[in-house]
Structure 1
Amino acid sequence: MVRTEEDHHAYVVRLREVPLLSKGQIVCDRFRIEEMIGSGGYGQIYLADMVIDKQELKVALKISPEDVESPRMYLEAIVLTELRGVQCVPHLISCGDYDVFNYIALELLGENLGQLRKRAPHGRLSVGTVLRIGIQAVNALKVVHEKGWLHRDVKPSNFCIGHDGLERHKIFIVDFGLARRYKNPDGSPRKVRPHAPFRGTTRFMSPNMHQRKEHGPVDDLWSLMYTLTELAEGGLPWRLLRDFEDIGNMKRTKRMEEVWRHLPPTMTSFKLHLTKLTYSDTPHYAHLNSVLQKGLPNGVHDWTPYDWEPKTVPQTAPPIK
C-alpha cells in the first residue's frame, strides 16, 4: 500500500493511540496479551504472558504491521540475535510473524531513562546517577561497536532499567531498528559514503550527522554526551528549535561548558576526546569511563542507589559489568 505523507502521519498517530491487539488475545499460541505499554511510529509494545514449562513468564511483545517499518523490525531481530548473551541488551526470546504483524518477543524491562527523568524532581536526575548511567552506557556501546554495529539512535528513551529487584540497578540499551553494520567481515571499517542519509533523532544526533557525514562509533558517543546532558540538566539548549540546520548550527557554536550547570568540569575531557575522533577511529572507552568516574560526587560508588531505587541496595550484589 502506498501512503501519502498525510496518510502516514495519521497512521502513526493511530498506532500511538489505538491498540492493535486486545487483552486476553493469544499470539502464536504462546503469548497472552495483558496490555499495551508503549507505542511509536514503528508499532506497539505489549506486556504479555508466555507459558514455559507450565510457568508464566512476563515478556515484552513488540509488534509492527507488515506494511509499516518491516525492514526496521527485521534488522532489529538480526542485531539482537548477534548480541544474544550480552548483559546490557535485552534477551531476544523469539521473533516471527502473526496475522498481518511482525513481532519480536523480548525480556521485559523497566522504565526508560526519559520517563525516569520526567518524573524526577525538577525534571532532572542527580549527577551521581547520571554519571553512573554514562559508565554503563559507554560499556554497552563498546560491546555493540566491537560486534561491528552502530546503534544510530542513542537517546534517553532508548535506555531502560531492569524490570525488578537488582536488575533495576542495570542499564540496557534498546531499539536497534536503525542500527547499521559498519565493519567488514575482516574487521575493517566499511567504506565511507560521500553522503550519508539522515538517521536518528535530531535532538541527540552528532554535529557530523547534521552535515550528512558517515556515522561512526564516535557519533553514538556524541549522542550519549547529549543524552547525559539532558538527563542531568533537564534539557538541551536547542530543544525548542525545529529546523534541522538551526539545531546543527547551535550544536557547532554552543559551548557545552555553558550548558553543564550540574555536570562536573571533567565532562570537558569527554567532549575533547570526541572532537579528536574520525569515522574509522576506535574510541578510548576506558578513558571516557575514567572521565565519568572522576566526576562522581564524594561517597557515590557502584552500589549507591540510583534515584529510582530504594535508599538501600544489598551490598552482596555483584559489581556491574
Structure 2
Amino acid sequence: MTVETVHFHPELLQRFLNADLSDEEQTACERHLELCDTCREQLQASAADDTWWEDASDFLQDDEFEINRTTDDSSLPTAIVDRVDGTEESTSADGIPANVRQIIAWLNPTDDPAMLGRLGGYEIAGVVGVGGMGVVLKGFDRSLNRYVAIKILAPHLATSGAARQQFAREAQAAAAVVHSNVVAIHGVDESNSLPYLVMPYLRGTSLQRRIDEHGALSVSEMLRLGMQTARGLAAAHDQGLVHRDVKPANILLDGTTERVLLTDFGLARAADDASLTQSGVIAGTPHFMSPEQAEGAAIDHRSDLFSLGSVLYAMCTGRPPFRADTSWGILRKVTDAQPHAIRDLNPDVPNWLCQIIERLLEKDSSRRFQSADEVAELLEQCLAHVQQPNDCKLPESLTTQVDRTAIQRFSRTRYRVIGMLALVVAVVVASQTLFPQLPPSDNTATKQADDAAPMSMAEEPLEIVDESLLDWDDADFGELSSIRNAIEKLDEESLQLIPVPRPNE
C-alpha cells in the first residue's frame, strides 16, 4: 500500500513566514518542516527569490580557515580541518581535499623544487586551511622576504557573481578597518581569473581551536580576549560596517603575543546597506547569530554585540549558548529560548561577568550594551580588577547591580527565617494557653480515692477538655502582637548590624 505524504498549502506556509499562526499551528509546522524536504523547498521559494537564496547559500558557506601549521614548507599538510557544518570535503586517494588539488592545478609553475607553484608574485609553500568558499595558502614574498597568507577563491566558484562580490566585499571591508585587532589586507589581485587576498601569515591558532583543546578559559583570559575582540568590532563599527559573523573560528590568536585578530569580513556589510533590511535572508553561523539575524530582520552593529556575548559564553562554558540537532532548531532557540545559566556549567565564573554576558544576550537589541567601545572599556576595567583586586575596584554599575542581587537574596532569606520564628512562637503561646500544665498528683492518694469511691462511666462521663479552657482571653492577642512588634524591631536593627556582602571576585 502506498502512503501518500501530506504537504502544506502555500497559503499556510506564507502565514508561517508572516508569523500569523497560533502557537499550536506554529509548532506543528516546525515539526513538519524538519522532516519534509518538499515543504522546506517551497518555504524557501516563498521567502525570497532565487537570487537572494543563491546569495544566502554562498554566505552561509563556512569560511573557517582553521590552521594546522607545519614547519616543513615543502610538504602539504595532511590534516585539514573539516567544515563547521560537519560535512567533509571530498578527498582524493592521497587524502588531499579535492578543492585543494584544484587550486594546486591552477598554480603557475615554479623553478623552486621546495614550492608547490607560483601565484602572482608569490611562491606557494603549502596550504594553511580550507573553507567553504576557498583555500588559504602559505606564500612567500621574495621581494620583502616574508611569509604571507593568501586567501584564494575556489575554482568552482570563479563564475559565481555572488561569490566574487562577497570576495571583493571582504577585501574592501577589511582594508577599510585599520586596527591592531583586525587582520590587515596587504593587497588584492587576480591570477588565472581567480581573485585572491594577501594577508599577514600568523603562527597562532583560532579561539575555536583553543576552546576545543582546553575547554573553558580562565576569567582573566576571557576578559583579555573579549576586550580585544570588542575593540576590533568597535573599529569596524566606526567605519560603518557590521561584521555579521563573529564567532570563535573568526577570532585568531597571534602565537607570539596572544593578540586577538578579528578576521573573515566576507559577510560584512555597511550599516546603511539596503540588503541588511531585506526580510527573509539569513547570513551568519547559527550558533552565534543574533535573534534579528535568525529572523532575517533588519540588523545594526548591536547584532555583533549579541554574537560577542555568545563568544564570551563559549569561553566561559566551552560550548555555544544555543545548541540543537538541526540548524533550524538552533535558530528557534536563538530567537525564543534562554541559554543555560553559566554558573551551573562553570561555578568559577563571577556573577558580574555573567551579568555582562546576559546583557549582551538580550533578545531586544535596545536592552543590550549600545556600543562595542562601551563593552571594551567595561571588560578592561574588570580585567584590571581581577589582576589587582585591592587597587582596582569593579565598575560602579556592576557593583550596584551585584549589591542589589545580594540584598534581594539576603532579604528573602531573612524574611523566611523571621517568618519561621514567628510561627514557632505562635504555636508555643497557643499550646501554653490551650493546654496548661496540670500540677502533678500523688499516685497513692489517687489510688485510695479510686478504691473508696468507685465510679462507672455510665454514672458520670469523663470530661475530655475543661470548658473553661475553650474561652480565649483577648490578652493573648495582645501578647502575640507584642511579640510581632519585637520581631519587626529586631528586623530593622539587623539591617544596620549585618553588612551586605560585596563581591571579592
Into which bin does the TM-score normalised by the smaller protein fall? 0.7 to 0.9
Partner of 1:169: 258
Deviations 1:26-82 (A, max 9, x none): 111x11111111111110001110122xx4211001001313522221111111222
Match of residue 195, structure 1, among 265, 268, 279: 279
1:202 Cα offset (Å): 0.4
Partner of 1:315: none
Q: Equivalent residues in 2 for 1:276-295 (5 A)?
A: 277-278=365-366, 283-293=370-380, 295=382
Partner of 2:89: 13
Q: CA RMSD in A?
A: 3.2
Q: Which moved more, 1:151-160 or 1:254-263?
A: 254-263
Partner of 2:252: 160
Q: Contact 2:90/2:97 (CA < 8 Å) preserved in 1?
A: yes
Partner of 1:50: 141
Instruction: Quote the sequence identity (%).
Output: 21
Are the structure 2 counterparts of residues 299 and 282 from structure 1 closer, same or farther at C-alpha, using a change threshold of 3 Å? closer
Aligned counterparts of 2:341 and 2:382: Cα–Cα separation in 1: 14
Unmatched segments (≥5 aa) in structure 1: 185-189, 302-321
Q: Equivalent residues in 2 for 1:118-267 (5 A)?
A: 118-120=212-214, 123-162=215-254, 164-165=255-256, 168-183=257-272, 193=277, 195=279, 197-249=281-333, 252-258=336-342, 261=346, 262-266=348-352, 267=354
Aligned counterparts of 1:250 and 1:205: Cα–Cα separation in 2: 7
Higher relative contact order (CA 8 A, sep 6+): 1
TM-score by length of 1: 0.76
Code of the residue aligned with 2:263 in structure 1: it is: V
1:138 Cα offset (Å): 0.9
Partner of 1:62: 151
Are the structure 2 counterparts of residues 13 and 137 from structure 1 closer, same or farther at C-alpha, using a change threshold of 3 Å? same
Asked if 1:88 is matched to 2:181, the reply is yes
Are the structure 2 counterparts of residues 291 and 80 from structure 1 closer, same or farther at C-alpha, using a change threshold of 3 Å? closer
Q: Contact 1:196/1:215 (CA < 8 Å) preserved in 2?
A: no
Are the structure 2 counterparts of residues 230 and 236 from structure 1 closer, same or farther at C-alpha, using a change threshold of 3 Å? same
Deviations 1:146-174 (A, max 9, x none): 10100000000101122x53xx3311110
Task: Report the structure, 1 or 2, having the larger helix content.
Answer: 2
1:240 Cα offset (Å): 4.0
Asked if 1:299 is matched to 2:387, the reply is yes
Match of residue 169, structure 2, among 75, 81, 84: 75
Aligned counterparts of 1:289 and 1:91: Cα–Cα separation in 2: 21
Deviations 1:121-144 (A, max 9, x none): xx2322211121111111111110
TM-score by length of 2: 0.50
Q: Contact 2:126/2:138 (CA < 8 Å) preserved in 1?
A: yes
Are the structure 2 counterparts of residues 31 and 235 from structure 1 closer, same or farther at C-alpha, using a change threshold of 3 Å? same
Are the structure 2 counterparts of residues 160 and 43 from structure 1 closer, same or farther at C-alpha, using a change threshold of 3 Å? same
